[in-house]
């Protein structure tokens, strides 16, 4: 998606919206506990098939999640 090609339908109709999907409720996700830390994210959407992805853009927030802060749990197969 980040390269402009949809990973689901291979169309070149991908658009990016920085810092959330357009409503206050969807512009950030919780990183820490008790509302101490939130982070914005970039959204990508394919206008051909409707598939979309979100990406956290701050490295420090990704590091905090990987360290187990907040309610994030690593997915294992």
Examine residue 47 and state whether it is found in any structural domain, yes or no. yes
**50: Cα within 13 Å, side-chain hemisphere:** 0
Number of domains the chain is built from: 1
Q: 48 near 13, Cβ under 8 Å? A: yes
Please write the tens of the pLDDT for every residue from 19-77: 654 544 445 566 665 555 666 778 899 999 999 998 888 888 888 888 887 778 888 98
Please write the tens of the pLDDT for every residue from 46-58: 999 999 998 888 8
Could you list the beta-strand ranges (E) of the chain: 14-17, 28-30, 38-46, 52-56
What pTM was estimated for this model as a whole? 0.67
pLDDT of residue 43: 85
Examine residue 1 and state whether it is found in any structural domain, yes or no. no
Full domain range(s) for residue 27: 14-66
Examine residue 53 and state whether it is found in any structural domain, yes or no. yes
Q: 71 near 33, Cβ under 8 Å? A: yes
Examine residue 3 and state whether it is found in any structural domain, yes or no. no
Examine residue 73 and state whether it is found in any structural domain, yes or no. no
């Amino acid at each position: 998606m980040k390269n402009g090609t949809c990973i689901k339908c291979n169309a070149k109709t991908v658009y990016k919206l920085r810092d959330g999907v357009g409503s206050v409720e969807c512009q950030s996700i919780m990183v820490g506990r008790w509302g101490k830390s939130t982070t914005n994210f970039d959204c990508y959407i394919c206008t051909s098939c409707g598939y979309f992805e979100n990406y956290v853009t701050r490295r420090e927030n990704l590091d905090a999640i990987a360290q187990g802060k907040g309610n994030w749990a690593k997915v294992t197969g």
